[in-house]
Structure 1
Amino acid sequence: MSKNKIKDVMIFKGGKGPNSWWISLDSWHRQLFRSITACGGVFAFDSIFMNILGMLQVSQLSIHQLRISMDVTVLAILFCGSVIYTNFIRKEARSEYKHKKLNEEFLTVKNAELNWENEKDLLLEKLYSIEELIMEDHLTGLLNRRGIVRTLKQYSAKAKRTKGEIHILFIDLDKLKDINSEFGHSNGGDRAIIEVARAIHETARREEPGCRFGGDEFLMIILYENTSPGNVRKTDYIKKRLEVGINNIHALAVPIENPAYGYKKIPISVTIATHILDLEKPIEEELNKASEQMLALKKK
């Protein structure tokens, strides 16, 4: 290997013929490399120098037989180090960019999730409100037939678990047709229905929901968590309380003006039948049985 000086440029040459190679250094780099290589020495630097020779299009040179000065070795080390450092910086930049993008995507997904949770809660509230409206009788505020069936299914499942019973008070408003004819639907029939519903609501406890079965028919559902002879007595007691409540409504009712008879109270009375549900039978079938018991009682 020879070393030639041309002004402030140092040229390193090696090899012969087509395998020759050269590296030139300006004065600034020469001083830098001389300072670094003051210790001198000769090294075999296979892997790093292979890359440099590849860039210099040296293809046939035997690397394992090559011995270069410390200056060239340092050049190779610094060159490869700069490449490695540059790649490291690029990787760090890409990693930081990727991390930033991932954070942005995570925040976007998290915000979307929070928005979905809020929207879901609002939708559930609306669904619950709609469900309540669907199961509520618009005139009385009691459960309607749909609500009755749902409540009875829930109570039946609980009664089966606890070996309990479900009693039904089937309530029929007497002579609703005559009331409508005499006082009209708004002032007569609807008012009588509302008053009966109010009596049921005031008599029933929270766990004994009142329901409007349809037209002039109402229900009270009574759940017992065990089977006992005393359950029948309790149901009879609730029935008497309801009858008293309805009689009080009639006694305290404000007279309604009738074109033919002047002022007159609406005659409000009810017939109440008691039915114990067979928990093994369909709900609708048991409700029909209770209705039949009511009709049989009214015919007596």
Structure 2
Amino acid sequence: MSPSLTASSPRNPQAWYRPVFSHEHGVYVMLFVSFLTGAAAAQQWTIATTLALICAFFGFQAEHPIVLQIKQRRSWKPRFLFWGGLYGGTALAIALYLWLSQASIRGELGSPLLAILGGAALALAIDAVSVLYREQKSIWNELITFAAVCLAAPFAHVATIGSISNTVIGLWLLNTLFFASAIFTVKFRKDKTHSPLPSLTYHTIAPLLLVGVALLGWLSPYTIAAFAVALLKYGLILWQREWYCTTKIQRVAMLETVSAMLFLAIVSLTLLPAHLPL
């Protein structure tokens, strides 16, 4: 090959040094909204909160190259291994720092952080096995994945103030149920003849679970009322199902993003005090 042809040829998109980023924009929204609700419950933002956000982001990014490598398991891809290791190593290093910092303050190694990190690691392992057996798009696997991403809420809270409570557990459940609503509505776009029964069942059970959370006193009814955004969105999709199934994906993404922002606003306003501590 002549030097001129070599110089003009495009850069190899599979070169190991080229970053690998997830294109799951909906998961970015879910991650950041869940994290911010956890920070709102903590009612403060510290350096540890910022580190926890970076940790959560890199932990999420690590999943993407790992999944890509599993899908191409017949051959090792240095690019996926390098970036998966870099993202995962960064997240693990920050998590270790947060854990040791809290251990030095508490005087003991036990911490709710370990349970949260363990839950996230378990979900990653389940997702990897699901990808291996091509079951990653099953409803149950997606529910587990969404629940794992929504662990960002208790992670933000625990990293900030070092403790967990029933309120934070209720907040994690609220985030999970809200975002998991999209699992059932997206099925309409994938299959225009998809029965509405699974989604109707979900959107009946989820509010009942949240009523139970309210009766237990874990969250106020005002905070739980944020789930009404998911119900309104679901009602709109059923009403305009033909439009929803045929419109551009960008419009669907906008609908999901606006819904998530409304949810975040309601939850934050009901959790934050009238005046934040200085």
TM tier, smaller: under 0.3
The structure, 1 or 2, with the larger RCO (C-alpha pairs under 8 Å, 6+ apart) is 2
Structure of larger gyration radius = 1
| Length-normalised TM-score, structure 2 | 0.25
- TM-score, with length taken from structure 1: 0.23
